[in-house]
């Protein structure tokens, strides 16, 4: 089973960007931890981070027939981009939405997710640990649906 992990704008700055909100764990550290969990689960992970929405859309399109599911932290695009949700729908790619902070306890403009209606599930507010929770949940859901192990 192959799982794509998509990270949106500014997540390349994790560890230094507003650590009181997003923590001090870097994106590289999150990816390393997910690699270990992926090995435990017997899956392959494909990581990407985008500061350009069009490139992220292209990457989602390129997943058609290549990956079984995805984790996505679309960052600020969560609250603004129907295009990202439409891309996941178009290529029929199941996904779990993940956020480091609890977006529903933040500013009003961050409390709505355009991705949520299409997601298998949402993990928010558990910091870097949320990625592990999201990955384990996604793999379990996909296996329960009969996806290849």
Active site amino acids: 22, 99
User: Is-contact 66 29, C-beta < 8 A?
Assistant: no
- Rounded to 5 degrees, what angle do the CA atoms 101, 96, 34 make? 75
- Residue 83: exposed, middle, or buried by beta-carbon count in 10 A (0-12, 13-18, 19+)? middle
d(C-alpha 34, C-alpha 26), whole Å? 13
- Neighbouring CB atoms inside 10 A of 25's CB total 17
Beta-strand relationship, 69-73 and 95-99: parallel
């Amino acid at each position: 089973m192959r799982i794509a992990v998509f990270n949106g704008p500014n997540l390349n700055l994790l560890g230094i960007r507003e650590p009181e909100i997003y923590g001090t764990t870097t994106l590289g550290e999150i990816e390393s931890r997910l690699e270990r969990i992926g090995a435990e689960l017997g899956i392959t992970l494909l990581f990407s981070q985008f500061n350009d929405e069009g490139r992220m859309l292209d990457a989602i399109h390129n997943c058609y027939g290549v990956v079984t599911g995805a984790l996505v932290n679309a960052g600020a695009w969560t609250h603004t981009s129907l295009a990202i949700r439409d891309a996941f729908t178009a290529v029929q790619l199941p996904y779990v939405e993940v956020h480091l902070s609890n977006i529903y306890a933040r500013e009003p403009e961050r409390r709505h997710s355009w991705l949520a209606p299409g997601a298998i599930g949402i993990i928010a507010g558990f910091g870097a640990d949320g990625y592990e929770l999201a990955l384990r949940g996604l793999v379990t859901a996909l296996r329960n649906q009969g996806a290849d192990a």
